[in-house]
């Protein structure tokens, strides 16, 4: 159902006043994790001011170590809702388990399925049965075909509002956190009508590489990017090393202007 053979025209996924797909180049931005009201609102204001169309932020965090910050949970969701209302900006946040669905649907506009849950079929069915748009991230070791089949689960359960996200895959290379597979973007754009966005933050894991890879994502034909930003990355509770500072986010938007405006 997600194939271009079934539907030739591009799917446009809308949530709040944002739309992803079609002729847009959408920038979704915000912190890796929601940490406090002040942290979230201050960075949300900056990314909104410079042209982000939606706010990201994790309240439930899939951390590699159980000793790392696990997210604020429902309190984080409430802060996202508050920021969303104050700034008139829809939100994207990760749902990690089916039991979180009710709270997520109350507070969040677009549900993110994280890389580690791309093949959590119970979760895919649950977001499929909900009416919320879904941002589906590619698994760390998932093939493009497996990503498309994961999207198929969501579609088959009744939800056609799916955004695919290339966020880097695990390869032999260790210089960067992951290897951003831009082949996948070009391939997916041919194969499926669903919008495809790129996450250059997790794709590289290195703040200084986020702007160049964002430009590359736009050039290869992605429908947008989802990037992490933090006004004080040295103090961030997760992924500070890959977060764009406020001035860097402004620079990013400056460099993406030809793509955002051409859209």
Round to whole Å and give the CA distance between 43 and 120.
31
**Number of chain residues interacting with ligand PEP (CB under 6 A):** 10
Residue 62, contacted partner among ligand PEP, Mn ion, none, CB below 5-8 A by kind = ligand PEP
Question: Could you give the CA distance from residue 159 to residue 83 in angstroms, rounded to a whole number?
Answer: 26
Instruction: Give me the 93-122 binding string for ligand PEP, x by CB under 6 A, dash otherwise.
Output: ---------------------xxx------
CB-CB neighbours of 126 under 10 Å: 21
Closest residue by beta carbon to ligand PEP? 114
For residue 152, how far is the Cα from the chain centroid? 19
State in angstroms the smallest separation of the CB of 98 from ligand PEP: 17
Partner whose footprint covers residue 137, from ligand PEP, Mn ion, none (CB < 5 to 8 Å by kind): ligand PEP
Q: Are strands 196-198 and 162-166 parallel, antiparallel or unpaired?
A: parallel
Judged by beta carbon distances under 5 to 8 A according to partner kind, the member of ligand PEP, Mn ion, none in contact with residue 115 is ligand PEP
Distance in Å from the first CA to the final CA of the chain: 26
Contact positions with ligand PEP (CB under 6 A) in 201-240: 202
Burial of 179 (0-12, 13-18, 19+ CB in 10 A): middle
Per the document, the length of the chain is: 263
Residue with tokens 């669903």: 194
Query: By Cβ distance, which residue is nearest to Mn ion?
Result: 32
Q: Considering beta carbons, is residue 21 or 30 the nearer one to Mn ion?
A: 30
**Nearer CB in complex with ligand PEP: 33/159:** 33
Closest CA to 21 of 211, 160, 200, 210: 160
137 contributes a contact to ligand PEP by CB under 6 A: yes
Q: Strands (DSSP E) along 61-108, which ranges?
A: 91-94
Q: Which of ligand PEP, Mn ion, none has residue 114 at its interface (CB below 5 to 8 Å by kind)?
A: ligand PEP
The residue ranges that bind Mn ion (CB under 5 A) are 32, 239
CA distance 260 to 27: 9
For Mn ion, the closer of residues 2 and 252 by Cβ is 252
Q: Does 30 bind ligand PEP (CB under 6 A)?
A: no
Residue with Cβ nearer Mn ion (2 or 115): 115
Chain positions contacting ligand PEP, by CB under 6 A = 32, 58, 62, 114-116, 137, 167, 199, 202
């Amino acid at each position: 159902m997600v194939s271009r053979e079934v539907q030739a025209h591009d799917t446009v996924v809308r949530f709040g006043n944002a739309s992803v797909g079609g002729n847009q180049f959408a920038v979704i931005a915000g912190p890796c994790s929601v940490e406090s009201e002040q942290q979230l609102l201050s960075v949300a204001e900056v990314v909104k001011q410079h042209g982000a169309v939606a706010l990201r932020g994790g309240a439930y965090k899939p951390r590699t170590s159980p000793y790392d910050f696990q997210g604020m949970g429902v309190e984080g969701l409430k802060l996202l809702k508050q920021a969303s209302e104050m700034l008139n900006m829809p939100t994207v946040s990760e749902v990690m388990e089916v039991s979180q669905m009710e709270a997520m649907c109350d507070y969040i506009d677009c549900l993110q399925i994280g890389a580690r849950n791309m093949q959590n079929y119970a979760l895919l069915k649950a977001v499929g049965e909900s009416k919320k748009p879904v941002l589906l991230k590619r698994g760390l070791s998932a093939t493009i075909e497996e990503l498309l089949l994961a999207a198929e689960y969501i579609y088959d359960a009744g939800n056609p509002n799916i955004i695919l996200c290339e966020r880097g895959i695990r390869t032999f290379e260790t210089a960067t956190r992951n290897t951003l597979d831009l082949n996948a973007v070009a391939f997916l754009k041919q194969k499926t009508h669903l919008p495809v966005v790129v996450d250059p933050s997790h794709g590289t894991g290195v703040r200084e590489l986020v702007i160049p890879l964002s430009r590359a994502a736009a050039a290869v034909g992605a429908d947008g990017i989802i990037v992490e930003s933090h006004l004080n990355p040295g103090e961030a509770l997760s992924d500070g090393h890959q977060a764009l500072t406020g001035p860097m986010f402004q620079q990013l938007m400056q460099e993406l202007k030809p793509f955002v405006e051409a859209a």
